[in-house]
Structure 1
Amino acid sequence: MAGDTYEDWTGHVIVWGLQSLGLRIVEQLREAGERVVVVDDEDDPRLRHVVRGWGVPQLNGKAVPAETLAEAGAAGALAVICVERTDLRNLEISLVAREMRPDLRVVTHIRNAAVGRALAEDPGPGAVLDVAALSAPSVAEACLGGDMQELAIGGTRLVVGSARAAATGTLRELYGDAAAPLAVSSDAGVLVCPSRDHKVQDGDGVTLMGAQDELLARGVAVGGRAPSARPSWRGALMVRLRWIADEAGPGLRRALASMLLLVAASTVVLWHGYATPGMSPLDGLYFTIETIATVGFGDFSFADQPTWLRIYATCLMLLGVTNTAVLLAYLTDLLVSRRLERSSGRRRAARMSGHVVIAGLGTVGVAAVSALHAHGHEVAVIERDDDSAFLDQARALGVPVIFGDATVPATLAAAGISRAAAVAVLTSDDMVNIETALALRNVLGERWDRVPVVPRIFDRTLARTLADRFGFAHVRSTAELAAPWFVGAALGLDVLGTLTAEGRPLMAGRFTVTPGSALQGTTVRDLLPEQIRVLALDRRRPGPPSTGSCLKADEDDRLGSGDGAYVIGPHAELLGLLRRARPQAAPTAPTPGEDGS
């Protein structure tokens, strides 16, 4: 295929970059029935063999971007997806594509937030996406055991709640028209996006979306586990005392014990041995501290006391000065070492409880830290590289960072793993993530089934094998999580978020019904058998603002040309819907494989 060009193709998608994320994008585009042309700078033989097996043509991307895009049929393409390894390369390709065709939909992967914001200001169609930001909410959700899921639609905040049907009846009868049913779980299985007239039985699981107050009023539970509560003052005191005992060291403890023993013994001796005018226990304690501190206010004197007591006073002064010097030396060492180690976070992590441990402070790691911090959860980070580019971001959030190898039990112990509520392993190396997860299984012991461990695994097949073989119940693949966003954006869906309903992953987004599409005149009810729910309709038409907007959708409403539809459903079904949402045109180029190429 190296000598072929596809300049006459129309309506296809160009995917530039085939490493991990690009491969998942190509796979999902094919499953959606879209034609794809792949361009890859690295030309990996293994990946080339995979895409050729799918019948997808591939071009070498090492030539000038404009020439390669022209060969890939950019003139008639539906979209270009840029997912090369570096931001610079993705930026170059996207700018060239936009210059070639201002109306071409360009979807670009940019990791740098400043560059992404600048590129997103371009008025042309498309999107600027960051894999780390897209996958972090799923990682945070797995760590929190199902925290609140929400969407913002037309300025309205909608949340996802779950309930058990308290009686037999239709969803409309039980939950009204305000809540949108997303899934029903029964003995017959899981039904996604049922009609409000669907009848449920007592005890069936129901997942709905709506305003939080409306759901709570209907007895629907909103959100998962609440953020870890702050410990009481007694608990905080005990944690701090344990920290002092652990960090003080035997030398400081011995010096402190010696000082306390000297003060106690001297108080008793002075109380019983000081003759004229005599001392009370409080006077004995006061004069002991005064003597050890070498203050000498002159209110007490040993001049008229017995010889043995004056000899004792001399020894007390010598012992007091020596013990004070030793104690101050140990305290100084403790304070200085604490100052030096503060950046590593070991001492702060030792005082944490019910927190989340993140292993790996890369792009995904720092995004997960930000997401967890936004939910009010304490986080501790383990990072190998003390020159990580994201250290300042972690410190700005007040997150302690422990430098070390997360596969070593001592490093995990320093992060407070015995008191952690969850652990996410998010390095960029699959083998390190697997090794760390296995080390965590050994360290957690009986807590393994109660503490969510979320390893990041790039390869989907490997992730499933690990889940089955080693019991990793919360494996996450960033490529798997992010690919639907890129595919949806390329096909015209403004992706709003991903949710989970009764264990089924759903995607929410907005698209526009274009004139001449197969969706014109379709009712909202017609889409329910396709497992797609229309949450709201934005009926703004081209023209003056007086045409208004209607952000609600009844099941009898019809989709019209120019309507903006907010929809939710399984990813595959939404992609099929997007094909129907755009005008149908006869293909001008053969489907890959039909011409024998």
Structure 2
Amino acid sequence: MSLWWREWRASWRDTLILLREFRLPLFISVIAFGGGGLLYFALAQEAHAPIESVPEAIYIVLSQAFLQSAGEFPNQWYLQAFYFVMPLIGIGTLARGLTDFGVMLFNRRARGKEWEMAVASTFSQHVVLIGLGHLGFRVAQHLHSMHQDVVAIEMNPSETLVAEVRALNIPVIHDDGLRETTLLAAGVRQARAIMLCTQQDSLNLQMAVKARSLNPTIQVVLRIFDDDFAESLHKQFGFKAFSATGMAAPAFAAAAAGVDITYPLTIEGQPLSLARFNLVAHSALVGCTIAEIEERDDVSIVLLRHQGVPDLHPAHDRRLSAGDVIAVLGSPSRLNQMVAKNQ
């Protein structure tokens, strides 16, 4: 979805939210002016005043409310009363409400949380990222580099980090990620994956369970400091749990992008992961040879599955086709670059 179209949809939804917030003063205004117009018409007919229709009577009442001339001053006292009462009603019911509504409508970003929620409501098949600490911020950057749509949630955001994340066109909702309303506002039911990057294992697990209850098909990637606990969560719940010792932001981001990826292993001082890719029809990798990819992206392709037939030692001149599955060994950052090319 293009940025301008998302902004337009967010503006429309935010306008609907504003209208709901101001429904009481709007309702009172409709009753006051509509009802006042009907009453004025009825009284005018009784007094044989030259009022030909209800719309004309409503127009006169509206004109009176805003101190505008609406024809000759009537002779009947009960019609004259409208000329003095309606301005007070107009000022009382509309002035404050319209002023607040106009400020909020034309200065949406100053409303912070509500605007971010409106933008988040336009996302689908995106990644919900909870926790904008050091790890969460780097993960957001990597997801952005892979052209992944992201909605972030942070309870105690750093203004500097939030500003940098929003500069990537990532909405940041300032709220508690454990609250169901917050998860729904971030679009967890339409999301493809949720990433939990806070520093509390128990909090990450609680949010993972709640997200899965709201969206049973959502992919869960969470930060866990204990290796054994991380492995247990993966076996029991299917959560992709990364331990602190195996942590790398690029690997975390790749997992949320739907790539099967192993924990980074340090070999000769360099972290390496093994990832599996399903090549899509419009992938930039389609048509390239094994040798071209390995040389250009500094990775090693250790498996090629073509039409269901696996090849553990694919030839260097073998060209990739849409629908192929490849297993790639490389640094998490290099793998992230390949994910972006395969979008």
TM bucket (normalised to shorter chain) is 0.5 to 0.7
What is the distance in 1 between the residues matched to 2:86 and 2:36?
8
| 1:361 counterpart = 2:127 | no
Q: Which residue of 2 aligns with 1:440?
A: 211
Question: 1:348 is aligned with what amino acid?
Answer: A
What is the distance in 2 between the residues matched to 1:315 and 1:344?
37
What is the distance in 2 between the residues matched to 1:468 and 1:288?
71
What is the distance in 1 between the residues matched to 2:35 and 2:174?
45
Indicate conservation of the 8 Å contact 1:273/1:309, yes or no.
yes
Q: Which residue of 1 aligns with 2:247?
A: 479
Indicate conservation of the 8 Å contact 1:349/1:415, yes or no.
no
| 1:291 counterpart = 2:59 | no
Cα deviation for residue 334 of structure 1 reads 5.2
Question: 1:487 is aligned with what amino acid?
Answer: I
Aligned length: 279
Q: Percent identity?
A: 22
2:267 match: secondary structure:
helix
What is the distance in 1 between the residues matched to 2:311 and 2:32?
83
1:475 match: secondary structure:
strand
What is the distance in 2 between the residues matched to 1:382 and 1:317?
46
Deviation sequence 1:405-450 (CA, Å, 0-9, x none): 32233433443434444321123443432232133234x1xx32x2
Over the aligned positions, Cα root-mean-square deviation in angstroms equals: 4.4
What is the distance in 2 between the residues matched to 1:339 and 1:256?
23
Question: 1:434 is aligned with what amino acid?
Answer: L
Indicate conservation of the 8 Å contact 2:152/2:173, yes or no.
yes
What is the distance in 1 between the residues matched to 2:273 and 2:206?
35
Indicate conservation of the 8 Å contact 1:360/1:427, yes or no.
yes
Indicate conservation of the 8 Å contact 1:346/1:414, yes or no.
no
| 1:409 counterpart = 2:175 | no
Q: Which residue of 1 aligns with 2:162?
A: 391
Q: Which residue of 1 aligns with 2:305?
A: none
Question: 1:400 is aligned with what amino acid?
Answer: P
Q: Which residue of 2 aligns with 1:424?
A: 195
Indicate conservation of the 8 Å contact 1:356/1:377, yes or no.
yes
What is the distance in 2 between the residues matched to 1:454 and 1:256?
45
Deviation sequence 1:339-387 (CA, Å, 0-9, x none): 5441685443563342431101234433443444456554221113322
Q: Which residue of 1 aligns with 2:221?
A: 454
2:91 match: secondary structure:
helix
The answer for unaligned runs of 5 or more in structure 1 is 1-225, 503-507, 512-528, 536-551, 555-567, 573-597
Indicate conservation of the 8 Å contact 1:344/1:401, yes or no.
no
Indicate conservation of the 8 Å contact 1:457/1:476, yes or no.
yes
Cα deviation for residue 268 of structure 1 reads 2.4
Cα distance, 1:344–1:424 mapped onto 2, change above 3 Å: farther
Q: Which residue of 1 aligns with 2:235?
A: 468
What is the distance in 1 between the residues matched to 2:206 and 2:163?
27
What is the distance in 2 between the residues matched to 1:465 and 1:510?
37
| 1:531 counterpart = 2:312 | yes
Structure with max Cα Rg: 1
What is the distance in 2 between the residues matched to 1:473 and 1:438?
10
Cα deviation for residue 395 of structure 1 reads 1.3
What is the distance in 2 between the residues matched to 1:384 and 1:242?
26
Indicate conservation of the 8 Å contact 1:270/1:284, yes or no.
yes
What is the distance in 2 between the residues matched to 1:496 and 1:474?
15
The answer for unaligned runs of 5 or more in structure 2 is 252-261, 280-292, 297-309, 320-325, 331-343
Q: Higher helix fraction: Structure 1 or Structure 2?
A: 2
Cα deviation for residue 401 of structure 1 reads 1.2
| 1:303 counterpart = 2:74 | yes
Cα deviation for residue 337 of structure 1 reads 9.8
Cα distance, 1:238–1:571 mapped onto 2, change above 3 Å: closer
What is the distance in 1 between the residues matched to 2:104 and 2:318?
65
Deviation sequence 1:48-82 (CA, Å, 0-9, x none): xxxxxxxxxxxxxxxxxxxxxxxxxxxxxxxxxxx
What is the distance in 2 between the residues matched to 1:351 and 1:335?
17
What is the distance in 1 between the residues matched to 2:295 and 2:149?
34
Q: Which residue of 1 aligns with 2:85?
A: 315
Cα distance, 1:321–1:259 mapped onto 2, change above 3 Å: same
Indicate conservation of the 8 Å contact 1:268/1:284, yes or no.
yes
Cα distance, 1:467–1:418 mapped onto 2, change above 3 Å: same
Query: What's the TM-score, normalizing by structure 2?
Result: 0.63
Cα deviation for residue 303 of structure 1 reads 3.2
What is the distance in 2 between the residues matched to 1:374 and 1:287?
60
Cα distance, 1:344–1:320 mapped onto 2, change above 3 Å: closer
Question: 1:464 is aligned with what amino acid?
Answer: E
| 1:499 counterpart = 2:276 | yes
1:361 match: secondary structure:
coil
Q: Which residue of 1 aligns with 2:17?
A: 243
What is the distance in 1 between the residues matched to 2:270 and 2:117?
47
What is the distance in 1 between the residues matched to 2:59 and 2:160?
55
1:479 match: secondary structure:
coil
Q: Which residue of 1 aligns with 2:302?
A: none
Deviation sequence 1:164-186 (CA, Å, 0-9, x none): xxxxxxxxxxxxxxxxxxxxxxx
What is the distance in 1 between the residues matched to 2:273 and 2:195?
24
- Of 37, 45, 53, 1:280 maps to 53
What is the distance in 2 between the residues matched to 1:240 and 1:341?
10
Indicate conservation of the 8 Å contact 1:383/1:402, yes or no.
yes
Deviation sequence 1:142-199 (CA, Å, 0-9, x none): xxxxxxxxxxxxxxxxxxxxxxxxxxxxxxxxxxxxxxxxxxxxxxxxxxxxxxxxxx
Indicate conservation of the 8 Å contact 2:273/2:329, yes or no.
no
Q: Which residue of 2 aligns with 1:585?
A: none
Query: What's the TM-score, normalizing by structure 1?
Result: 0.39
Deviation sequence 1:530-567 (CA, Å, 0-9, x none): 923343xxxxxxxxxxxxxxxx469xxxxxxxxxxxxx
